[in-house]
Amino acid sequence: MTPGLRRLYAPRSIEVEIGPDGAPTAVEGEGVVVVRERWSVDDRWWERAPLRRCYFELALVGGRSLVVFRDLVSGRWYRQRA
């Protein structure tokens, strides 16, 4: 990446609580009303650092919609802005 530039809409690390099925039940302390959609991405498998993610589109208690993903390589959770 060119010095002085940053990625637009780069994922940001977040705290997520999960239920027994692995789906988020709370994001940064705010409850999840419903998981609207769930999908997986498995890409760049031929590279040294493959991209393996499980995405969730959520409706939160406060009325916000949010897309989060779990990096299946590191196990960390991130918020994804579109």
pLDDT in tens, the chain (82 residues): 567 666 667 788 999 999 999 999 999 999 999 999 999 999 877 888 778 999 999 999 999 999 999 999 899 999 987 5
Among 14, 12, 13, smallest CA distance to 60 is for: 14
Count Cα neighbours of 75 within 13 Å in the Cβ-side half-sphere.
Answer: 2
Full-model pTM: 0.82
d(CA 61, CA 73): 29
